[in-house]
Chain A
Amino acid sequence: MTTTWPYLNVHQSRTHEPTPYEYKLAATLEEVFTKDGHELADVIRGLNARQVHAPDGAPWTEDSFRAEMHRLGA
């Protein structure tokens, strides 16, 4: 933790530098939200259509997406 003035820190909410997987998932989510919609079903369909899969390689389901967002966003 810095004690020098001024404190100017771009990233205050992160616990780690996002992994390549996290960056790709985030960028794809933004694209899906922009082009496909904001409902959970839109998101699952949009991610799977773009072949951006869960870390285990499986297509997303609503349950697996909720669990992964909880892990990454909590």
Chain B
Amino acid sequence: MTADHIYATGLRNQWHPVVPSSFVAPGAMRKVTALGEQWLLFRRSDGTLSMLADRCPHRGAPLSLGKHLGDRVACWYHGVEVEGDGTVSSVPGLPGCNLEGKKLVRSLPVREVGGAILAYFGDEQHPEPAELTLPEPLTEPGTDAILCYAEWEVPWRYAVENLLDPMHGAFLHHDSHTMYDGDTTAKFRIRETDRGYFFEKTDQRGVNFDWVELCHTGIDWVDLSIPYPPSAGPGGPFGIVGMVCPVDEQRCGVFFWRYRRVEGWQRDTWRFLYKTLIEERHWEVLEQDRVMLEAMPADADQRENLYQHDLGVVRLRRMYRAAAAEQASA
């Protein structure tokens, strides 16, 4: 793989989110595209999930057109049966065929976290999954998180860059329930951490979308915080853990967990208000991002004139470019 291909379709040797867990019901299969490749998600009735390359090892037909046999999938074309770990268990047309018992289909390690399926996309030199440290807001007791997933006609990196660009909040989202406030001028700085970096305003905190932290912990994610209006009740600001699935060169899946430090009746009340009224307002904000990013020209990042507010984006691109080059040369 070339560095350009990796840059365009997502870094390897790390975890990425794929789709929400609910997209694959018990006993069901689902075809998905991720990192520019075709995959089959396959769940047994007991909930066990497998992710296989969507390609029969016999003649290359898509396994996703096949049949779910409980603990295996059978290719529709010639009935070749493949287990969840990628082993061919049976070739019905030629019993005893030497394909049987061989692990011929690529199978990715998967985990389910906060209602999303995560998978490890290793290259040939790195098949063993990287150590994964999950975002604290998705695991900490006393923090409640609700997933929102959407599919955008946008290269994955534009969706991440959008998150490393807090200043757009004061303009693009000015007419929203949460980001109407705060100064429309700001100074920013980058603050390094042992797992990534903060990109933050130096002169305003807790008013709009004033900071964002990029984290590499075996998976790439961002953390940020946005104040709620008083109508959202007790619990203070809501946070977002954001992740992006590189679907292919032109498309991505975005995962936003809105989280809040609430427990007991405060948690229940937030969830009730969220379902009834707030989720739709959050969605309107996200749609503003989608409309803007989908309208960006294909050469947007080739003909720019950047200024100080773009340091977070520049840092991100440099990091991903370097990682893609390193993976391509390995």
Is B151 in the interface zone, CB < 8 Å from A? yes
Determine whether the beta carbon of A5 is less than 8 Å from that of B147: no
Whole-angstrom distance from the CB of B125 to the nearest CB of chain A?
32
Q: Which of B248-289 contact A (CB under 8 A)?
A: 251, 253, 264-265, 267-277, 279-280, 283
Q: Which of B134-162 contact A (CB under 8 A)?
A: 146-153
Residues of B within 8 A of A1 (CB): 22-23, 25
Is B30 in the interface zone, CB < 8 Å from A? yes
How many residues of chain B get a CB closer than 8 Å to chain A's CBs? 38
In the bound complex, CA of A47 to CA of B146 (Å): 26
In the bound complex, CA of A74 to CA of B144 (Å): 11
In the bound complex, CA of A72 to CA of B234 (Å): 17
Stretch at the interface among B187-195, B224-232, B320-328: B224-232
Determine whether the beta carbon of B283 is less than 8 Å from that of A10: yes
Residues of B within 8 A of A23 (CB): 276-277
Determine whether the beta carbon of B276 is less than 8 Å from that of A12: no
Is B233 in the interface zone, CB < 8 Å from A? yes
Whole-angstrom distance from the CB of B181 to the nearest CB of chain A?
15
Q: Which of A1-48 contact B (CB under 8 A)?
A: 1, 3, 5-14, 18, 22-23, 25-27, 29-31, 33-34, 38-40, 43
Residues of A within 8 A of B30 (CB): 3
Determine whether the beta carbon of A34 is less than 8 Å from that of B230: yes
| Residues in A lying within 8 Å of B, measured CB to CB | 1, 3, 5-14, 18, 22-23, 25-27, 29-31, 33-34, 38-40, 43, 65-66, 69-70, 72-74
Closest 10 CB pairs of A and B: A6-B151, A73-B268, A73-B272, A73-B271, A69-B268, A30-B231, A26-B276, A38-B234, A72-B272, A33-B233
Which residue in B150, B275, B290 is a CB contact (below 8 Å) of A73? B275
In the bound complex, CA of A21 to CA of B230 (Å): 22
Which residue in B148, B231, B253 is a CB contact (below 8 Å) of A33? B231
Whole-angstrom distance from the CB of A55 to the nearest CB of chain B?
14
For B264, the closest partner residue in chain A by CB is A66
Determine whether the beta carbon of B270 is less than 8 Å from that of A73: yes
For B147, the closest partner residue in chain A by CB is A12
In the bound complex, CA of A34 to CA of B277 (Å): 15
Which residue in B146, B151, B277 is a CB contact (below 8 Å) of A27? B277
Whole-angstrom distance from the CB of A21 to the nearest CB of chain B?
11
Residues of A within 8 A of B275 (CB): 11, 13-14, 18, 72-73
Determine whether the beta carbon of A6 is less than 8 Å from that of B150: yes
Residues of B within 8 A of A5 (CB): 151, 251
Determine whether the beta carbon of B274 is less than 8 Å from that of A13: yes
Q: List 26 A-B contacts (CB under 8 A).
A: A1-B23, A1-B25, A3-B31, A6-B153, A7-B253, A8-B151, A10-B279, A11-B275, A13-B146, A13-B275, A13-B279, A18-B275, A22-B276, A23-B276, A29-B233, A34-B231, A39-B234, A66-B268, A69-B265, A69-B269, A69-B272, A72-B268, A72-B275, A73-B269, A73-B272, A74-B268
